[in-house]
Amino acid sequence: MTNKDGIMMKNKQLLGSFFKGILSTVSVFSLLLLTMVNVSAADLQTVEYSSLSGDKAQITVRFSESIELPNSFSIDDPARIVL
């Protein structure tokens, strides 16, 4: 292997590393953008509550736009709301 071949081989390795770095950077930024879209989907505008008979309560929340229904909903003891 001559010096010229060694230099060409090293340049190819550097270009490969450079493109891998760019690809990983673009991938990370793409994932961050997708996450930001989901996070800023709807704003909580109001929370209303009213007492019902039998030590029960009704809580109504309103958002700036329609949202997906939660997959689960539970209230445990002590009383707390988990979505």
Percent of the chain with pLDDT over 70: 63
* 39: confidence class by pLDDT, cuts 50, 70, 90: low
pLDDT in tens, 10-35: 666 766 777 777 878 888 888 777 76
SS3 4: helix
Q: H/E/C letters for each residue in 6-74?
A: HHHHHHHHHHHHHHHHHHHHHHHHHHHHHHHHHHCCCCEEEEEEEEECCCEEEEEEEECCCCCCCCCCE
* 7: confidence class by pLDDT, cuts 50, 70, 90: low
pLDDT higher than 80, residue 36: no
In angstroms, rounded to a whole number, what is the distance separating the alpha carbons of residues 82 and 73?
6
SS3 3: helix
